Structure 1
Amino acid sequence: MGVTRYLHTAILVSDLKASEAFYSEVLELPKAERSLKFPGVWYQVGDDQIHLIEDANWKTTPVNREKWGRNPHIAFAVDDLELIKTRLREGGYPLQSSASGRAALFTKDPDGNIVELSAE
């Protein structure tokens, strides 16, 4: 018995509508057609999926407030880092450049979950 492939990551959010605006409109992730018996939504990312689960009491607690990449986070490759940076700024989302000097940045979704975006 062994792990054969990655399936999905579940992310807790306190406000599903605000999170959907971030993941659907800002990041433009396509929704996956999967039904749920509780508040949440699935997104398709290549062959994998992300599952947002609403929990009204969810509070993110970053361990390292100075370097966001040293906290639990999810990372995506993007085809236009400057465009996504502009969208994030226009939406009022916080930004932090990667400390490594590579073409990457970190942001936070409406609940403070950290998201890394890297140029392909």
Structure 2
Amino acid sequence: MQINQCLHGAVLVSDLEKAEQFYTQILGLSKIERSLKYPGAWYQVGNFQIHLIVHPDYQRELTNTQKWGRNPHFAFAVDNLDEAKQRLETNGYPFQMSASGRAALFTQDPDRNIIEIAEMRGD
């Protein structure tokens, strides 16, 4: 077997409206159509998709509350990390800078799912 592409990642959320506000308005992801009957939303990021799946009783517990990056997470690349930090601060979302010293941060969606945002300039 040879895996040649990662297609999507699924994220559990308890409140679809709050999750969609975060992923659409805060992160700026593009929502795409989906034909499935269970509640959720899909977002396209390059050749990859993020699938939000509603589980009304979902409660995410962090295994490492001190260093968010040492919990299950997925990462997005941005050209300007300062812009990402400003958007998160302006909208009241907490974040931690990467302990590695890289230009990266970790934030949480409304259900405490961890998202890494790393600066990767296309110079």
**TM-score interval for Structure 1 and Structure 2 normalised by the shorter chain:** over 0.9
Cα displacement string for residues 95-116 of structure 1 (whole angstroms, at most 9, x for unaligned residues): 1000000100000000000000
Q: CA deviation at 1:86?
A: 0.8
Instruction: Give unmatched runs, 5+ long, in structure 1.
Output: none
Q: Which residue of 1 aligns with 2:91?
A: 91
Cα displacement string for residues 11-39 of structure 1 (whole angstroms, at most 9, x for unaligned residues): 00001100101100011000122222111
Letter in 1 for 2:60: T
Aligned partners of 2:117, 2:30: CA distance in 1, in Å?
17
Letter in 1 for 2:98: S
Q: CA deviation at 1:44?
A: 0.3
Number of residue pairs matched by the alignment: 120
Q: Which residue of 1 aligns with 2:113?
A: 113
Query: TM-score, normalization: structure 1?
Result: 0.96
Instruction: Give unmatched runs, 5+ long, in structure 2.
Output: none
Query: TM-score, normalization: structure 2?
Result: 0.94
Letter in 1 for 2:53: I
Structural RMSD (CA)? 0.9
Q: CA deviation at 1:60?
A: 0.3
Q: Which residue of 2 aligns with 1:20?
A: 20
Q: Which residue of 2 aligns with 1:37?
A: 37
Aligned partners of 2:93, 2:36: CA distance in 1, in Å?
28
